[in-house]
């Protein structure tokens, strides 16, 4: 925790206010149980997605109890817990007494699809509290508090763009896989009718040594894919991981999704292992990319699989160069509790 230069707050008597932001992801490329110094640890590698995110504003109210946190929209309990934890950390770092405050969250991440909406809320809240105290919170501290607030956390607090194998229940990086993922074009869609998934209700997996060996093999392949810039190998890893995820999720459309991807000339598919969002992955260097993407979109719709947006993981590929152009947003994220009670929808193309 590093004290930062204090910002001038306009207006006499204005309450100290801070803001924070965090992005989302598009589910996982790889998720399983991996070896860390011989110890089994759950871990994941997320698929980055620019655009949707959570924004937070925190207004400190000096003189109130540190646990007195109000949150809008109501029901964002994980973000409220995160704010209370951050107050204690940041007040100590700033040499100020801890106090409560008002937390307001806005954003456009659909809830319950496995895109890290709750983690995004939590990280935005942590950053807003830190900003209100004019301190900078290190990513490791953000990760630790995020896990305390929500039991498990996605690696959205890491801003350098490097793909990592992340121990979501411990809030730490198991391995940096390389400098950057190979560029991909992703045709997003939702499975299971887009119904939200309560991750806490999923049955626990029984993990055998053969499972760990399979996940470790995929880890090695993904490491090689990153080092060589091999989009096809990323697709192979993501598809294998998604197929293993179906042992728990059991999406009835999964085989159709894979068939559409093969016919369209995609390199593979990926899913959220704790949600309904999925993606068909293309190598942007492939010939006739626009035709491949159009064939994919038509195939998904023919199978009744709702499409969401087409995006790229590479900043070098601009929206104008995408096969179907930039995604159009359809409004703000619906207000609701940490797990939505009705299907959430992504902004559509």
Residues 26-54: pLDDT tens digits? 999 999 999 999 999 999 999 999 989 99
pLDDT at 316 over 80: no
DSSP 321: G
In whole angstroms, what is the distance from residue 142 CA to residue 212 CA?
29
What CATH number was assigned to the domain covering residues 180-321? 3.30.70.890
Residues 140-186: pLDDT tens digits? 999 999 999 999 999 999 989 999 999 999 999 999 999 999 999 99
In whole angstroms, what is the distance from residue 52 CA to residue 87 CA?
26
Q: Are 177 and 189 contacting, i.e. CB atoms less than 8 angstroms apart?
A: no
Name every residue whose Cβ is closer than 8 Å to that of residue 332 and which is 6 or more positions away in sequence: 106, 107, 108
Element (H, E) at 71: strand 69-72
How do the domains of the chain map onto residue ranges?
2-164, 180-321
Residue 324 has a pLDDT of 53
Residue 122 has a pLDDT of 98
pLDDT at 217 over 90: yes
Average pLDDT, the chain: 88
Pick the CATH number of 2-164 from 3.30.428.10, 3.90.180.10, 3.30.230.10, 3.20.20.70: 3.30.230.10
């Amino acid at each position: 925790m590093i004290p930062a230069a204090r910002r001038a707050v306009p207006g006499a008597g204005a309450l100290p206010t801070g803001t924070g932001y965090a992005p989302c992801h598009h589910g996982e490329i790889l998720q399983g149980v991996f070896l860390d110094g011989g110890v089994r640890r759950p871990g994941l590698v997320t698929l980055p997605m620019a655009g949707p995110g959570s924004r937070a504003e925190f207004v400190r109210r000096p003189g109130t109890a540190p646990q007195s946190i109000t949150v809008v929209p109501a029901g964002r309990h994980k973000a409220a817990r995160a704010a209370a934890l951050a107050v204690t950390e940041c007040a100590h770092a700033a040499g100020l007494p801890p106090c409560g405050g008002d937390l307001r969250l806005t954003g456009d991440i659909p809830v319950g699809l496995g895109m890290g909406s709750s983690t995004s809320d939590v990280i935005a809240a942590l950053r807003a509290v830190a900003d209100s105290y004019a301190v900078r919170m290190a990513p490791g501290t953000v990760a630790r508090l995020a896990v305390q607030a929500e039991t498990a956390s996605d690696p959205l607090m890491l801003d350098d763009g490097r793909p990592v194998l992340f121990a979501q229940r411990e809030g730490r990086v198991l391995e940096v896989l390389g400098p950057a993922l190979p560029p991909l074009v992703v045709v997003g869609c939702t499975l299971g009718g887009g119904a939200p998934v309560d991750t806490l209700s999923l049955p626990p997996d029984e993990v055998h040594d053969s499972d760990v060996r399979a996940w470790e093999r995929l880890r090695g392949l993904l490491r090689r894919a990153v080092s060589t810039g091999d989009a096809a190998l990323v697709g192979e890893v993501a598809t294998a991981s998604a197929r293993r995820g179906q042992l728990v999720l059991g999406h009835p459309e999964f085989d159709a999704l894979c068939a559409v991807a093969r016919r369209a000339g995609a390199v593979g598919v990926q899913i959220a292992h704790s949600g309904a969002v999925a993606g068909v992955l293309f190598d942007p260097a492939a010939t006739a990319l626009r035709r491949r993407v159009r064939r994919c979109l038509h195939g998904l719709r023919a199978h009744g699989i709702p499409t969401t947006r087409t995006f790229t993981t590479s900043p070098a590929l601009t929206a104008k160069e995408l096969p179907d152009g930039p995604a159009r947003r359809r409004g703000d994220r619906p207000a609701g509790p940490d797990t939505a009670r009705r299907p959430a929808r992504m902004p559509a193309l």
